[in-house]
Amino acid sequence: NSSERNELFSTSVSIGKRLKWPDDFFSYRTIVGYQLYDVVGNESFFAEGTSSLLTVEQVLERNSLDNPISPSSGSKFSVSGEFAPPLPGFSEYYKFRTQYQYHVPVVEKLVLTSQVQYGYIGYFTEDKRSDLKKFLVGGTQLQQRQSFLYDNIDLRGYPGGTRQSIAPIEDGRKVGGTMFSKYSIELRYPAISSEQIQVIPYAFVDAGNSYLDFQDFDPFKVKRSAGFGARLYLPILGLVDLSYGYRLDGVEVPGGTGNVLPGNWEFLFNIGTPF
């Protein structure tokens, strides 16, 4: 459509360092970024036109995973703060995210993984608010082509996208959440492990939600799914993730057409490591 335009220019510089305290698994990094958005004719965007963001993100992480593709032991914890200061001519926000994952062998090569994630976005001033970088939950960023205007949180079993994502509805449109929660349990077994190919089938239970504000936040008010899948590691493509999830809950869509109904299966694929 010639009347619609969604364009993004983005660049960033990252500097990190491994720490010796409290132990050798800790590290921190600083990421300075600039994004220029040019948005016209997008109903899901709060203010059309150009918007600029100058961001500074600080990440503290402890990573003791024994394998980044399919860990069999160890844990990973991270906490981050991202700030887009209210400079003249720039959009602004501040965001905090934290996640924890734990991997433990059960029997032989069978591994049990549990993950928890939370996020919050707020604003320094009332008049500088926009929908930039709010949270949409569901699907994968690769398959669902979710909007770069938002922070897209993957969740298996749900289609995602700007209309069908798990997110609050306000004044008849999806606005993205200022908070999100996500939980995941996965049981996997590396069936084939070689230099040419790795095949890692798994079963999972996922749950998550996106909330309008603190008053709406309930960590146990979540959309749930369960299913199975496989990760394939190919030297040419890298890690390919295929999942088939069964929805236990539905998702409302603005206008009431195309609602995401419970009791249905959703096939998703993604490229890149989840750990």
pLDDT digits (tens, 9 = 90+) for 65-103: 998 888 999 999 999 999 999 888 888 999 999 999 999
Greater confidence, 227 or 131?
A: 227
Tokens for 193?
Answer: 């492990």
Q: What is the rounded average pLDDT for all residues in the chain?
A: 89
Enter the pTM of the model: 0.90
pLDDT tens figures, 203-217: 999 999 999 999 999
